[in-house]
Structure 1
Amino acid sequence: MDHAAWTEAQESATVDVDGHAVEMAYYEAGPADAEPVVFLHGIPTWGFLWRGVAPALADEYRVVVPDLVGYGNSENGEGFDRSIRAQEGALASLLDALDVDRFHLVAHDIGGGVALRFAAHRPERVGKLVCSNVVCYDSWPVEFVSTLGLPRTASMDDDELAGQLDFAFADGAYGEADPDFVAGMKYPWLDREGGKRALARAAVSTNTNHTTEIPYGDITADLLCLWAEEDAMQPVSYGERLADEVGGDVVRLDEAFHWVPEDRAETYRSELRSFLGTTERDT
């Protein structure tokens, strides 16, 4: 599925972000009465990151893949917060609108920060939690993202921004990148009106305090850290620390950099199906 087909399959709902009504796009598939599995992306990606994983689970689960507010095909204008603290509230608002109560949560990058906050603050709602190269503790922000938060990003010419995104997604793939993946990741920032400004707003909203303040000990979900071991941005040592504190396992995926759901989609699907199919621990 390319990004145009993914976009065509998306729906949207109005969510609350600190009292602001904001449109949030999401992809949904699978039986409405099946166990829900929610997938969260990071920066500078969007729900299309999960193209090789989420749709394949829709034969058994109700799959929901939001675009964080300000990202992807969600509303990307001014006047609302994009921080992971705000994204946590937006996610809760979306899931309430979709009548999703208890669910499993799969997250990558800053989506992991959102997931960890949600699981700590609403432990009764999260059954199983999968964290893949997520931000946690003081592991972020990284220099590439911080640089995108500078004002010049909003006025950068298309060729320069395309070059930076090619560096992130084409050069950042393990092996030869799929052109459809690279084009899809660039789409919200280069092809949507206001995309460059939205990218700068998203990058400047990164706040390490929003993960250092998480009460990790309050998380009761079964945890799997499904981690690309060759990622320089979010080293596997953070996954090990998270699993040690929360209680859970670390599965290291070799031959993968930061974009692990793309680099190792087949293995990722297999590990995820296996984990989701096991019995939850008592909470």
Structure 2
Amino acid sequence: MNWREWQRRQEVMELGGHFVSYVDWGKGPPVVLLHGIPTWSYLWSGLARALAASRRVLVPDLLGYGFSDRRDRFDRSVTRQAEVLDAWMERLGVVDAAVVGHDVGGGVAQQLAVRYPRRVSRLCLMDSVCYDAWPLALMSQLGTPGLSRKLSPERMTKLLRLGLKKKGFVKAQSAELLEGLLAPYATEVGWVSLSRNAVALNTNQTQELALKLGHLAVPTLVMWGAEDGLLPAKYGERLVWDIPGARWTQVPDAGHFVMWDSPHTVAMELFGFIEGASPVHHAQVRTVAEELWGTEAPVA
């Protein structure tokens, strides 16, 4: 499915003076898929198709991203995104869902699970921002004051494309996919909005969760690409240490965009987890964390 076909699937909901674009696909217990930066919901197009065979798959563009509201001068932080998701799920009549978050979407998922625990029946964090591991250099540069006035959308899209490829973006995938993921930001409105999204990246909003993760009572899977060059696996292992009963899965030969590098493996792991077939082995994960940080839990 190309990005234009995905966009045609999107519906639009008005929420408190803003609007959210999203895909609502399939029937069954709901699954919410959250993207990061600099992507949009199209990131999940392949996995969404597979999940929709037995699940209701809900895939929003976060505020300021993709084809959701990209007007200027509103809060785009992960905390605000979680508030919007809570209201969005309420309007959809979704009491709770399995929530899967990648990159910044993982930060939003953490905020949602901590602040609105009733909304999250299962939590999967995929190569997720966390603690003080972000924002990354490339995204920090996007938020440089005045940069959106100095560089054209075409120039910035080219730099983003080169930067992501350098970090091992979707090694086995086509240039068409990369172009589709960056398509909403190839206009002046899109580029300015992406710059504002980058400004909103705030490590404090995941650091503040460090001591709260230990109170989560939701089944959790932390999935990481073994070759993630953006967010090292040690951060995923720390999440597993901090979230009670969390399960750790590292995907071989996959980088940061694990759902595209190893789609079959990710789909099978996620299906097993959300169907409740995957056992929790927290003791094994603790051994991994002990090897990394010693006998004591890492300091937040």
The two structures have a TM-score, normalised by structure 1, of: 0.92
Per-residue CA deviations over 1:2-38 (Å, capped at 9, x if unaligned) read: 110000000011123xxxx11100011011xx21000
CA contact 2:95–2:119 (8 Å) conserved in 1: yes
- The gaps in structure 2 that reach 5 residues or longer are 280-300
Q: CA deviation at 1:260?
A: 1.2
- The amino acid of 1:221's aligned partner reads V
Instruction: Pick the aligned partner of 2:227 from 217, 227, 230.
Output: 230
Secondary structure of 1:227's aligned partner = strand
Aligned to 2:127: 133
1:91 paired to 2:72 = no
Q: In the alignment, residue 38 of structure 1 is paired with which amino acid?
A: V
Give distance in 2, aligned partners of 1:112 and 1:212: 13
CA contact (8 A) 2:136 2:230 kept: yes
> 2:74 aligns to what SS in structure 1?
coil
CA contact (8 A) 1:121 1:218 kept: no
Map 1:149-228 to 2 at 5 A: 149-155=143-149, 156-171=151-166, 172-191=168-187, 193-214=188-209, 215-228=212-225
Code of the aligned partner of 2:176? D
Greater Rg over alpha carbons, structure: 2
C-alpha distance after superposition, 1:193-220 (max 9, x if no partner): 5011101100000001100111112221
1:269-280 alignment runs, 5 A limit: 269-278=267-276
| Distance in 1 between residues matched to 2:30 and 2:154, nearest whole Å | 40
Cα distance between partner residues in 2 of 1:266 and 1:152: 42
Q: Secondary structure at the match of 1:52?
A: helix
Which of 41, 48, 60 in structure 1 is aligned with 2:42? 48
> Using the alignment, how far apart are the partners of 1:270 and 1:46 within structure 2?
23
TM-score calculated relative to the size of structure 2? 0.87
Contact 1:108–1:134, Cα closer than 8 Å, also in 2? yes
Q: How far is 1:257 from its partner? A: 1.3
**Cα deviation per residue 1:218-248 (whole Å; 9 max; x = unaligned)?**
2211111111121122111111111111121
Asked if structure 1 preserves the Cα contact closer than 8 Å seen for 2:173 and 2:260, the reply is no
Kindly indicate whether structure 1 or structure 2 has the higher relative contact order, using CA contacts under 8 Å at least 6 residues apart. 1
Distance in 2 of aligned mates of 1:135 and 1:27: 24
Q: Which amino acid aligns with 1:2?
A: N
Unaligned runs of at least 5 residues, structure 1: none
Aligned-pair identity (%): 36
Aligned equivalents of 2:261 and 2:145: distance in 1? 32
Secondary structure at 1:53 match in 2: helix
Report deviation, 1:186: 1.4
How large is the Cα RMSD of the aligned pairs?
1.6
